[in-house]
Structure 1
Amino acid sequence: MTTSFISDQDFTTPAHVRAAPPEERRVRETKSASRALLSVTFLAAVWLVVSSVPFGYIGAGRYDIFWSDAVTGITIAIVTTLRLLHPRTVAFAWVSGGLAGWVLMAPLVLQYGWSTSTANDIVVGLLMLVCAALGPADEPE
């Protein structure tokens, strides 16, 4: 924070932020943190879809890995987009967590073996679960 030597006021923070009461500032910070976590989840879902071709199909030669990652990634991207557009929908938080759990468990259920697909799904699944756990739960209006 930088202040003016004449008026001793903060001139680096916009006036609407300085004038906001502390409770309102806290709500804004919470919303921006929630949007950041949802953005990370969305990007991880896009990565899951994009990486399903080289890791799942070309790397392992298996259609089940390809379809699992592609369909799950598209679904998580859609659910995350809906959560960004309508943040007060309760069920979407649980759907995101459940799909992230599937991404994490898919290597065991579909028996990938140890491959780049396994490592990719474990990393992406953990990232999505952490974002789901750290993000605030959606609240009904």
Structure 2
Amino acid sequence: MYYINDGVFGTLFDWLSLREIKDLKRAVPLVRKERQHERTFPTTIWGPTCDSTDIVCEDVEYPEHHIGDYIVFENLGAYGMTFATNFNGFPKPTVQVYIKEDMWNMLHSVAGVDWKQKTLTFFESILEKAH
């Protein structure tokens, strides 16, 4: 059982609404390729609040993790910061933006010379508003 620094009242809000779709039984965290052959354990991941609704996933097979490890959920979080709250005194998590280098270069090549700086400024302004 793990408690993480984000949950359904934060950027994983999408999962709270997706639970109602019968075919989507759970959010399943991704496992890095180099860890796919490690022993797994039945795992439940909870968000940081004391609310019984703040369960991210339950009874999934997952390798052992430690404090500081990243857990990645694919296709969740698109609207998370928009709907995130400081529920129960827990602040919104720090946002880290990742993009593949080839995608970054492609966007930069079609958008003009100053696109990179404008994009960085845009992301910085979003992060400032999130805190």
Q: TM-score w.r.t. structure 1 length?
A: 0.24
Higher strand share: 2
Higher helix share: 1
Q: TM-score w.r.t. structure 2 length?
A: 0.26
Q: Which has the higher contact order (CA 8 A, sep 6+)?
A: 2
